Amino acid sequence: MEQPAPITMKDIAKALGVSVATVSRAMKNSPRISDEQRERIQQYAREHNYIPNVIAENLRNSRTKPVKIIGVIVPQFEHFYFSSILSGIEQEAMSRGYTIMVGQSAEQYDRETLLCDKFYQNKVCGIIVSQAKDTMNYDHFKKLINSGVPLVFYDRICTGVDCSRVVVDDYQGAFNAVSHLIETGCRHIACYMSPMSLEISKNRYNGYRDALLRYGLEPDKKMFRICDNRADAEAITPELLSQDEKPDAFFAVNDDTAIGILYTAKRMGFRVPQDISVCGFTNGQRAVACDPMLTTVEQRGVLVGEEAADILISKVEGEIPMDKVVKRVVRTRLIIRGTTR
Amino acid sequence: MEQPAPITMKDIAKALGVSVATVSRAMKNSPRISDEQRERIQQYAREHNYIPNVIAENLRNSRTKPVKIIGVIVPQFEHFYFSSILSGIEQEAMSRGYTIMVGQSAEQYDRETLLCDKFYQNKVCGIIVSQAKDTMNYDHFKKLINSGVPLVFYDRICTGVDCSRVVVDDYQGAFNAVSHLIETGCRHIACYMSPMSLEISKNRYNGYRDALLRYGLEPDKKMFRICDNRADAEAITPELLSQDEKPDAFFAVNDDTAIGILYTAKRMGFRVPQDISVCGFTNGQRAVACDPMLTTVEQRGVLVGEEAADILISKVEGEIPMDKVVKRVVRTRLIIRGTTR
């Protein structure tokens, strides 16, 4: 407690003429800055005995400034992808001296507007949100922006306001997954998507279609279904697998649906992956619990959360102009496991 | 907006001489109050056009009072059981006009104390916490209590301070699970637990042991291991299953460990449940993703969260004296699926 205050990320940023976000990335060995930049910053930090420590950072902040709060709206905590995003937001916020206030919209517009009001009353410095499925009116978001409260959307972006956002590369993720299915010998690839009104469905479907076209295969309407949960997948898959021209692979919009397909195929006597390949999208805890383990597109929720918090904090701290719309895309990763050949 | 304000739960409580918590339970058809009491309260509510609506409740509160904040410390968001508890806390808090501020201790004592400090600076009206695994010093908790900030522990209770808490009936849950294994013909039941320094390990082990004794079976040290994750379960299970006197069943401290046992047994050529039965503890998303689906003890996280928030809010609102230590136990449920006979 009696030691001289160690230098902060801000001190380093000032001395080197870079942003605090850049210093933060250098310290985390983020791939998002050049090797040269990273080495220069890390060297300066070493020479000045910088302590890259969440706790130290926070102690310094807590003594000099009021605690800053970020509001976070999550559709539901019990959804693995959302809880991993929340974890990323919290980690980035804490490492930069911020605290988070959270609420679940439970997919209800009313709750979402209520949370916006509550966060505003609590003087949050900004809000990170994935909108509820039934939100069609965007006045609550516009009101916040007009009051000077920055917003950042993640996962489900709001098409009603032009706003900063972090999404994953749904198109490329789907393209890579379906390319893998084709390259391992599959030719009749079924596709199960969420309703096509959602951006993620459009983007993932387009990636699926373009991968087929790229390999000279024709998209077939009989191989497409609107289906995004296990119960529905178990209900509709027997019909597809009883057809004369049956699929030899399935690409599903999420892991839950993929697991429904996997077990239905096994129950009907097909071998996975010898007869039928299955690929999901998420890479949640279920993907390694099923047998065989699921090949899937990893959505990297922690990274999505970190990026969303980084945009918001950079705006609050003046490193990004408040009115600038920042759009970042987090790259997915194809995780190949036992349900594909 | 121009309508006369509808009556509140508080109005009903006053009129009938009961607590607001009791009215809340009556409206949720909670089994925790008598049928008679529930009917009396619901009738009064109907006669006075009470609107049992989270939104209405919050709008009323937000106009008359400052927003009240509850601090919540979670070991990690990505753990299904903790995210379900967080969901329960949030639902109970929102329905009574409170907002929550959260942080992850990431199992680190330093982060836990930092969160306590931050929450205190933000003037939270109380803190709900499951302590980090490495917390051995309780001064940060004592300081909060002495400052008039009520604490409620969930799941991992703090043995260092006598404080309100919500836990599940680990002993009874384990007793019921092991009784089920015995009743379905198992006689050599192995037991995998977390380190025995944890309360949950002691209680679940005692439930296991007493179920054996109750059925005239002798606990056997050779059947006991410290093991609480899948990787370790996959590493140590082959040895147990290669012994002359091998287990015909396994009782595991959590689902992750149980799944490691399940797949190891299958890989070694044993049939589950015909040759080997397996029972877990949690009932998270993995339990229905594995093949066969896992028999397990459901911990009911949402209910644990609701109870913890109810104790805290009741203290803040004067319905429970601040210095009263309230201990509630949520009953587990045995969920019988495909890994037991």
Q: Please provide the DSSP assignment of B215-265 as one string.
A: TTPPP-GGGEEE--SHHHHHHHHHHHHHSSS--SEEEESSHHHHHHHHHHH
Backbone angles phi, psi at B207, to 5 degrees: -65, -40
Task: Evaluate whether B193 touches B226 at the Cβ level (below 8 Å).
Answer: yes
Q: Say if the Cβ atoms of B99 and A94 lie within 8 Å.
A: no
Q: Answer whether residue A217 shows pLDDT above 60.
A: yes
Is the CB of B263 inside 8 Å of chain A's CB atoms? yes
pTM over 0.90: no
What is the band of B199 on the pLDDT scale with cuts at 50, 70, 90?
A: confident
**ipTM of model:** 0.81
pLDDT, mean over chain A: 91
Q: Is residue A3 part of a domain?
A: no
Q: Answer whether residue B79 shows pLDDT above 70.
A: yes
For residues A199 and A265, membership in a common domain is answered with yes
- DSSP per-residue codes, B281-323: EE--GGGGTSSSPPEEEE--HHHHHHHHHHHHHHHHTTSS-TT
Is the CB of A152 inside 8 Å of chain B's CB atoms? no
For residues A292 and A312, membership in a common domain is answered with no
CA–CA dist A32, A341 (Å, integer): 34
For residues A204 and A235, membership in a common domain is answered with yes
Q: Is residue A237 part of a domain?
A: yes
Is the CB of B137 inside 8 Å of chain A's CB atoms? no
For residues A130 and A241, membership in a common domain is answered with no
**DSSP structure class, residue B153:** E
Q: Domain range for residue B316?
A: 69-167+302-330
Instruction: Provide the 3-class DSSP secondary structure of residue A252.
Output: strand
- pLDDT (tens digit per residue) in A19-60: 888 888 888 777 778 888 888 988 888 888 776 555 555 555
User: Can you give the CATH number for the domain in which A215 is found?
Assistant: 3.40.50.2300
For residues A110 and A224, membership in a common domain is answered with no
User: Which of B55, B66, B114 has the CB atom closest to A58's CB atom?
Assistant: B114
CA A155 to chain centre: 6
Please report the number of interchain residue pairs, chain A to chain B, with beta-carbon separation below 8 angstroms. 118
Q: Is residue A41 part of a domain?
A: yes
For residues A252 and A182, membership in a common domain is answered with yes
| Number of residues assigned to chain B | 341
CA–CA dist A299, A309 (Å, integer): 17
Q: Answer whether residue B292 shows pLDDT above 90.
A: yes
Task: Evaluate whether B151 touches B126 at the Cβ level (below 8 Å).
Answer: yes
Q: Say if the Cβ atoms of A121 and B87 lie within 8 Å.
A: no
- pLDDT (tens digit per residue) in B10-69: 888 899 988 888 888 888 777 778 888 888 888 888 888 776 555 555 555 444 454 699
With vertex at residue A169, the alpha carbon angle to CA A163 and CA A210, rounded to the nearest 5 degrees, is 125
For residues B178 and B243, membership in a common domain is answered with yes
- pLDDT (tens digit per residue) in A255-264: 999 999 999 9
Give which of B299, B250, B256, B257 is closest to B279, Cα–Cα.
B250
Task: Evaluate whether A193 touches A228 at the Cβ level (below 8 Å).
Answer: yes
For residues A177 and A281, membership in a common domain is answered with yes
pLDDT at A1: 40
User: Which of B77, B263, B285 has the CB atom closest to A86's CB atom?
Assistant: B77
Q: Is residue B61 part of a domain?
A: no
For residues B112 and B211, membership in a common domain is answered with no
Q: Which residue of chain A comes nearest to B82, CA vs CA?
A: A78
- pLDDT (tens digit per residue) in A293-341: 999 999 999 999 999 999 999 999 999 999 999 999 999 999 999 999 9
Q: Is residue B341 part of a domain?
A: no
Q: Is residue B47 part of a domain?
A: yes
Q: Say if the Cβ atoms of B83 and A78 lie within 8 Å.
A: yes
CA–CA dist B157, A105 (Å, integer): 30
CA–CA dist B173, B299 (Å, integer): 9
For residues A154 and A229, membership in a common domain is answered with no
Q: Say if the Cβ atoms of A291 and B290 lie within 8 Å.
A: yes
For residues B285 and B230, membership in a common domain is answered with yes
- DSSP per-residue codes, A117-156: HHHHHTT-S-EEE---TT----HHHHHHHHTT--EEEESS
For residues A102 and A223, membership in a common domain is answered with no
Q: Is residue A219 part of a domain?
A: yes
**Higher pLDDT residue, B53 or B137?**
B137
Q: Say if the Cβ atoms of B103 and A100 lie within 8 Å.
A: yes
- What residues contact residue A254 under an 8 Å CB cut-off, 6+ apart? A194, A228, A280, A281, A282
Q: Count how many domains chain A has.
A: 3
Is the CB of A94 inside 8 Å of chain B's CB atoms? yes
Q: Is residue B157 part of a domain?
A: yes
